[in-house]
Amino acid sequence: MISHADVEKLRGMRAPEPAVLSLYLPVPLDPAGVRGLAAQAEDLMAGAEARGPDGASTARAGPADRDAVLGALTGHGRDWRGQTVAVFACQQLGLFEALPLPSVLPGRAVLATRPHVRPLLAVIQRCPDYLVAITGRRHARVLSVSGNRVETLASQSEQGPRSHGFGGWYGLETRRIQQRIIQLGRHHYQEVAAILARAADIGRPVPLVIAGCHDSITGLLQELPPAAREAFAGSFTADPHALTPARVRELAGPVIQGWVARREQELAGEILGGLAAVGLHASLTAVNQGVAGHLLVAHEGMIPGFACGRCGELSTGSFECPDCGTAARTVPDLLEEMVQRTLDDNGPVTMIRDAPFSVAARLRFPVTEEKASREGADDESCPDPAGADRNSWQGTGRIRGAG
């Protein structure tokens, strides 16, 4: 499973020229379709070119990198069926990484000075590791799910009281047994909750799914400590004894996807309700000035643009940097550059689906008017790719919440 450590390792690699090839290739589940992978990869890599400010091609993927990619597809393509493989290659840097991803992404090839990691961040966010607590009245298991791997972290078994005479004429004895069952059941759920609390204390918090019969789910929820309750993503009902690891992943997957989508929308509402830059040009200004505290990216495609060769200022149009007097160089994807710049400034990045903007940013403090007006001047020549931005007053580079 891809991790933030893998992304940071890739982000630490940079070439002096656009020589790093990043390829995202969906691998069909049908074995017959795997035979066409090499041709698909060739087509994508042929379209990955570095261009100068005049639009002319200045570089293409090197032969050694292309051969390494094709060799990996030939040797391991069948192992990656039903997944997307992300391949990063640069002979200059001694870089070659092939990472199978747990979700299907559109095919894409990018040639730049460093690996194109925005799709990796989306996968990590939308396919998180999570815990599943499978609980019954007397038995429970806690599973850890990471990609296709399911591991049992702990199991719990509580023996109930003997029930001789239960439901007979001995009313006092029946009541005593009923109370004992209730106490043992609650103790059982408390033990499972304690296991979940300990698991939550190890590493980063992860979402929690609870499975079992309705009463067992309710009983465990009542005993969860605050930290585990905050991590609760949802539940599904099933016979605890019939749940195999594959069935757990199948039933828990939609629960986790719903939880991820809710968190995305909640985060977007929280950020847009405060001091925020909304739209491509306003967000570019925020990133250029280093005030983007949290970047939200909704646009799935790539937006070509320009960057100053010295200070790195980003723009939608070719320019000579007024601060450095240096001509701009082309960049294949402004959104990738904004993501990289925000991460470099220790700001988080979140991918958002179904948002009424292409990109937005929570601001650490308001931007200065001079650079905001200069970046906004590009609006007429380069409209925002998301139609909602063009219809919003935010799309002209103004800042929400700035007064």
Helix H or strand E segment including 188: helix 171-200
Secondary structure of residue 366 in the 3-state scheme:
coil
**What is the Cα–Cα distance from 231 to 240, expressed in whole angstroms?**
21
Q: Considering the domain 4-125 in this protein, what is its CATH number?
A: 3.30.960
pLDDT value, residue 309 = 77
CA atoms within 13 A on the CB side of 273: 6
Q: What is the pLDDT of residue 358?
A: 93
**What is the arithmetic mean of pLDDT over 98-122?**
94
**Between 63 and 227, residue with greater pLDDT:** 63
Backbone angles phi, psi at 85, to 5 degrees: -105, 130
- Whole-number pLDDT of residue 392: 34
Tens-digit pLDDT profile for residues 235-252: 999 999 899 999 999 999
DSSP states of 124-146 as a string?
A: HHHS--EEEEEE-SSEEEEEEEE
CA distances from 249 to 125, 131, 139, 241 (A): 17, 11, 20, 15
Other Cβ atoms within 10 Å of 171 Cβ, number: 8
Q: How far is CA 135 from CA 170, 195, 207, in A?
A: 31, 12, 17
Nearest CA among 24, 7, 104, 56 for reference residue 302: 24
Q: Is 12 helix (H, G, I), strand (E, B) or coil?
A: coil
Question: pTM, whole model, 2 decimals?
Answer: 0.81
The string of pLDDT tens digits covering residues 161-200 is: 444 443 444 444 444 434 444 444 467 788 888 878 776 6
Given the DSSP bridges, would you call strands 108-112 and 20-26 parallel, antiparallel or unpaired? Answer: antiparallel
Residue 320 gets which letter from DSSP? B
Specify the fold of 130-263: Nucleotidyltransferase; domain 5 (3.30.420)
Q: Where are the domains of the chain?
A: 4-125, 130-263, 274-392
Q: Are 206 and 130 in contact (CB under 8 A)?
A: yes
> Which residues have CB under 8 Å from 343's CB, separation 6+?
11, 349
Which pLDDT score, from 0 to 100, does residue 114 have?
94
Q: Are 106 and 79 contacting, i.e. CB atoms less than 8 angstroms apart? A: no
Angstrom distance (rounded) from CA 180 to CA 391 = 65
Q: Which of 352, 332, 328, 169 is nearest to 278 (CA)?
A: 352
Whether residue 276 is predicted with pLDDT greater than 80 in this model: the reply is yes
CATH topology (fold) of 274-392: 60s Ribosomal Protein L30; Chain: A; (3.30.1330)
Which helix (H) or strand (E) is 152 found in, with range?
strand 149-157
Residues sharing a CB contact under 8 Å with residue 65, sequence separation 6 or more, in sequence order: 21, 89, 90, 91, 96
Contacts of 39 (CB under 8 A, 6+ apart): none
d(CA 44, CA 148): 28
End-to-end CA distance of the chain: 44
> In angstroms, rounded to a whole number, what is the distance separating the alpha carbons of residues 115 and 92?
13
pLDDT of residue 150: 93
Minimal CA–CA distance to 367: which of 402, 331, 337? 402
Which regions of 301-373 does DSSP assign to beta strands (E)? Answer: 305-308, 314-315, 328-331, 349-351, 359-363
Write phi, then psi, for 240 (nearest 5 degrees). -55, -35
- Report how far Cα 301 is from the mean position of its chain's Cα atoms: 16
Task: List the one residue out of 400, 393, 368 whose CA is nearest residue 291.
Answer: 368
Bridge partner residues of 359 (DSSP)? 297
Percent of the chain residues past pLDDT 90, beyond the cut: 54
pLDDT of 75 > 60? The answer is yes
Give pLDDT tens digits for 122-144.
Answer: 999 999 999 999 998 778 899 99
